[in-house]
Chains A and B, each alone.
Chain A
Amino acid sequence: MSEVAAVAPDHASSSAVRSLVGPDARQQTTVDDIETWWVPKQNLVDVMRRLKTDPDHRYEMLFDLSAIDERGRQHRAGQPDSQFTLFYHLMSFTNNKDLRIKVALDEQDFQAPSITSVWPAANWYEREAYDMFGMQFSNHPNLRRILTPPLWEGHPLRKEHPARATEMDPFKMTPEFQEAQQQELLFVPEEWGMSTGAKHTDFMFLNLGPNHPSVHGVFRIALQLDGEIVVEAVPDIGYHHRASEKMAERQTWHTYIPYTDRIDYLGGVMNNLPYVMNVERLAGIVVPDRAKVIRIMLAEFFRISSHLVFYGTFAQDVGQMSPVFYMFIDRERLLTIIEAITGGRMHPAWFRIGGVAQDLPEGWEIMVRDFLDYLPARLDHYGEMSLKNSILKQRTVGVGVYNTKEALEWGVTGAGLRATGLDWDLRKKRPYGGYDQFEFDIPTANNGDCYDRCVVRVEEIRQSLRIIRQCLDNMPAGPYKADHPQTTPPPKERTMHDIETLIQHFLNVSWGPVVPPGESSTMVEATKGLNSYYSVSDGGGMSYRTRIRTPSFPHLQMIPLISRGFMIADLIAIIASIDFVMADVDR
């Protein structure tokens, strides 16, 4: 269906944007209707700066930046020639509008100007693009590998890079290679942008992680300390990198669903949601109402589950020992419901393209209602125990502060953004998957410190309970899966009568769905912020390129900014308040 058209339909603001992107820019249509412009790379920085600052548009946030290896792509009619395409996804919070900028790159001149001068958040994104594809970014302050080890050979997301170990020669650890690896591990402060001493002080360097009780996974921060004061903190990520985006290129549209569960491993089916919605959009599948409401209910359950883990570990990281046990017990109750419905607990992989895997089991209402009646009183109790505790307040109020402007500048979304006072929740601002049918509030706070981020999340648990109660009271009847040949096998009784349905069943099961060519991205308000899947289909049974934009990635990039001048203990509180999981950062 949505083969890319050469001439775009007239958007109301097209001409307005055209004046900003310049006369050389070319427009492209995409399935997701996000305005997409190809910009020559020499104009890129100017265009970006104009888009960010123009009073009528104000694309405040660099939401995503990555690239596509276009060398093997068949269906790209109407798009400028390009071997590698950089794409920049911008978001305007003022106008609630998105814009995608694309830049064509040629391997002969494999570089683009860095836009770190416009958005500091571009730093890590450009490093990732370099790491994965190998293009250079001129004027980038620190263009080094970010996810793969320093001595990695090749750039994983290029099409010629093997996707499996069996495609490579057996690995040998020679003494020389080991020596080189050891050399790479030596800590040289200057390489991290640190100085060894000031006029009257010698600094101490502390390696926090990748194995440390409070870094929530394998995350490393190199600290430059003056006593216990953090002078500089440099995060180091990549220890949890599993090349999820590469795996998407060799899994069918359908079999990739379980991989998404493992991106934000506390979010369960919340990860399935943007992925399946995106594929549905590409394939033009309409989801029945019952499936929509079931999806929302489970997604909100997982939001609660994730926030409970956050709440407990947050209290634990400021030294309170008990809350984490209470909250894990509550989460256990919740996971029991998840298990009764889906059969899985943390990674149910239960959403399907076009709906969900099964109908709700008999008696689900009883379990859900019990939980809805149980949790609010417990939350009140935890509020007394943790949020109102004066020591916890002393530890977290006024620590790790950033304002709305900084948050947008650095790509912060989710509760971290709402804690600065901006009531921006995707479920309200751009209702997706049926959220427009639900009543709930957007909790906000004003100070943007560690304490506020916790308060906002706790209130979000209550709002999620509200949404789940509405799901419970208004669960529509009907099918739980779209009756679409790409997604649902034909009814069994019909396959016994005509050959067509039998063929269709066979193809679906052996090949999986074939999605028409096109590009689309879909974002959701996930547990930790905005999570988006950008899929490029080349008309095959597998995705040509899948880009996963996770909220935790930019959140971690911001750590140095908000922890300078605080003490180690504060840094731990800041890390805890961000609420990330490393799988969501490294993918």
Chain B
Amino acid sequence: MQSEFIMILPVLLGAMLGAAALVWWERRLLAFWQDRLGPNRLGPFGSLQIIADVVKLLTKDDWVPPFADRVVFTLAPLAIVAGMLMGFAVVPYGPGLHIIDLNVGLLFFLAMTSLAVYGVLLSGLASNNKYALLGGLRSAAQMVTYEVFMGLSLMGIVIQTGSFNLNDIVQAQEDMWFVVPQIVGFVIFLIAGIAETHRLPFDLPEAEHELTAGFHTEYSGMKFGLIMVGEYLAVILTSAIIVTLFFGGWLGPDFLPPIVWFSLKTAFFICFFILLRAALPRPRYDQLMSLGWKILLPLTLLNILITGAVLLAMEG
């Protein structure tokens, strides 16, 4: 186990700035796909919109509804952001560029993202609002369903690499990206990842058109801002993990440094997440559950079985 504490500050800064930039980038990109302009007035290409938004959120009245559970209500957004930020600790950004080289890195990532889901659930319950409650319940149901095979979908990779260490997994893709042998695992992880980040088409806990704003109906000001930051962090983290696990992480031809390769690949998946949001409708919550339990879970188990069998056969 090897720790690079010097990396904490740049990673933290990078993640937070990335999340802030995403607020602007997502709006511009959605606008581009929807034949609109998006924020384009403040600063170059409207990029200073981020600052305006943050100033607005920070100067808003920090209101906690009198009927809410004050402590949990305040802590829940923190749990969302903290969980996601912790996840960044195990991501390898380049050769030797990581905060901690954990031998159970993959499990740590899964654990931290699950922690963030508790934040969503608790914020829904603590609000003491019926829409928020329904949002919280949906998020709990979604978590139970998708956590199961989110982890399992990655087991194929673990079998192939023989390690939970994310650095080892990247190294193991020197010859071939895992997306090729583990295409099923990739698709399932992608779906579970979207569900985990609560993004359209799986934004059921929020589901603006049904539950007004779902679990964060009662949130305003910077608490709401934190929830949004948490969502964007989740998008970045999930994209980074997808890249690390399936697309060779920082590996790439020599003409660009590894960190640039890593960033480019991650940016690609971030844009993909935004494109999904622009393109797809939202399934109903029981449909999402039955997709998870009836199709994706058996597929995942089958994937593990086949991966194991093929590996055994090749070794034997």
Tell me how far the C-beta of A228 lies from the nearest C-beta in chain B, rounded to whole angstroms.
Answer: 7
Given known pairs A214-B209, A320-B280, A321-B278, the reply for A228 and B285 (CB within 8 Å) is yes
Kindly list chain A residues whose C-beta atoms are within 8 Å of the C-beta of B203.
319
Determine if A318 and B286 form an interchain contact, defined as CB atoms under 8 angstroms apart. Answer: no
Kindly list chain A residues whose C-beta atoms are within 8 Å of the C-beta of B131.
206
Interface centre among A319, A329, A385, A394, by most chain B C-beta atoms within 10 angstroms, is A319
Determine if A319 and B285 form an interchain contact, defined as CB atoms under 8 angstroms apart. Answer: no
* Contact flags A73-98 to B (C-beta < 8 A → 1, else 0): 00000000000000000000000000
Tell me the nearest residue of chain A to B213, going by C-beta: A213
- Indicate which residue in A319, A322, A389, A392 contacts B33 across the interface (CB closer than 8 Å): A322
| Interface members, chain A 516-562 (any B CB < 8 Å) | none
Kindly list chain B residues whose C-beta atoms are within 8 Å of the C-beta of A572.
209-210
For residue A395, CB closer than 8 A to chain B, the reply is yes
Given known pairs A206-B130, A317-B209, A569-B210, the reply for A392 and B281 (CB within 8 Å) is yes
A319 to B279, CA, bound (A): 10
Determine if B285 and A569 form an interchain contact, defined as CB atoms under 8 angstroms apart. Answer: yes
| Interface members, chain A 201-216 (any B CB < 8 Å) | 204, 206-207, 212-214
How big is the B interface, by class? 20 to 34
Determine if A319 and B34 form an interchain contact, defined as CB atoms under 8 angstroms apart. Answer: no
Tell me the nearest residue of chain B to A576, going by C-beta: B209
For residue B134, CB closer than 8 A to chain A, the reply is yes
Tell me how far the C-beta of B135 lies from the nearest C-beta in chain A, rounded to whole angstroms.
Answer: 11
Kindly list chain A residues whose C-beta atoms are within 8 Å of the C-beta of B282.
318-320, 391, 395, 569
Tell me the nearest residue of chain A to B133, going by C-beta: A204
Kindly list chain B residues whose C-beta atoms are within 8 Å of the C-beta of A110.
none
A389 to B134, CA, bound (A): 27
Determine if A212 and B281 form an interchain contact, defined as CB atoms under 8 angstroms apart. Answer: no
Determine if A318 and B281 form an interchain contact, defined as CB atoms under 8 angstroms apart. Answer: yes
Kindly list chain A residues whose C-beta atoms are within 8 Å of the C-beta of B278.
321-322
A321 to B276, CA, bound (A): 10
Tell me how far the C-beta of A513 lies from the nearest C-beta in chain B, rounded to whole angstroms.
Answer: 46
Determine if B284 and A569 form an interchain contact, defined as CB atoms under 8 angstroms apart. Answer: yes
Kindly list chain B residues whose C-beta atoms are within 8 Å of the C-beta of A320.
279-282
Interface centre among A207, A316, A321, A386, by most chain B C-beta atoms within 10 angstroms, is A321
* Contact flags B31-70 to A (C-beta < 8 A → 1, else 0): 0011110000000000000000000000000000000000
Determine if A325 and B285 form an interchain contact, defined as CB atoms under 8 angstroms apart. Answer: no
Tell me how far the C-beta of B193 lies from the nearest C-beta in chain A, rounded to whole angstroms.
Answer: 18
Determine if B212 and A394 form an interchain contact, defined as CB atoms under 8 angstroms apart. Answer: no
A391 to B279, CA, bound (A): 11
* Contact flags B197-221 to A (C-beta < 8 A → 1, else 0): 0001101000111111000000000
Interface centre among A315, A320, A386, A569, by most chain B C-beta atoms within 10 angstroms, is A569
Tell me the nearest residue of chain A to B202, going by C-beta: A319
For residue B27, CB closer than 8 A to chain A, the reply is no
Tell me how far the C-beta of A329 lies from the nearest C-beta in chain B, rounded to whole angstroms.
Answer: 6
Determine if A322 and B284 form an interchain contact, defined as CB atoms under 8 angstroms apart. Answer: no
- Indicate which residue in B34, B36, B210, B284 contacts A394 across the interface (CB closer than 8 Å): B284
Given known pairs A394-B284, A395-B284, A568-B134, the reply for A322 and B207 (CB within 8 Å) is no
For residue A326, CB closer than 8 A to chain B, the reply is yes
Determine if B130 and A326 form an interchain contact, defined as CB atoms under 8 angstroms apart. Answer: no
For residue B283, CB closer than 8 A to chain A, the reply is yes
Tell me the nearest residue of chain A to B284, going by C-beta: A569
For residue A360, CB closer than 8 A to chain B, the reply is no
Determine if A319 and B212 form an interchain contact, defined as CB atoms under 8 angstroms apart. Answer: no
Kindly list chain B residues whose C-beta atoms are within 8 Å of the C-beta of A204.
130
Tell me how far the C-beta of B109 lies from the nearest C-beta in chain A, rounded to whole angstroms.
Answer: 28
Contacts A/B (CB < 8 Å), 24 sampled: A213-B212, A214-B209, A228-B134, A228-B285, A318-B209, A318-B281, A319-B209, A319-B280, A320-B280, A321-B277, A325-B34, A325-B36, A326-B34, A329-B35, A391-B201, A391-B282, A391-B283, A394-B284, A394-B287, A395-B281, A395-B282, A568-B210, A569-B210, A572-B209
Interface set of A (CB-CB < 8 Å, partner B): 204, 206-207, 212-214, 228, 315-322, 325-326, 329, 385-386, 389, 391-392, 394-395, 567-570, 572
Task: Known A-B contacts: A206-B130, A206-B134, A325-B36. Give 6 more (CB < 8 A).
Answer: A207-B130, A319-B282, A325-B34, A326-B34, A391-B201, A568-B134
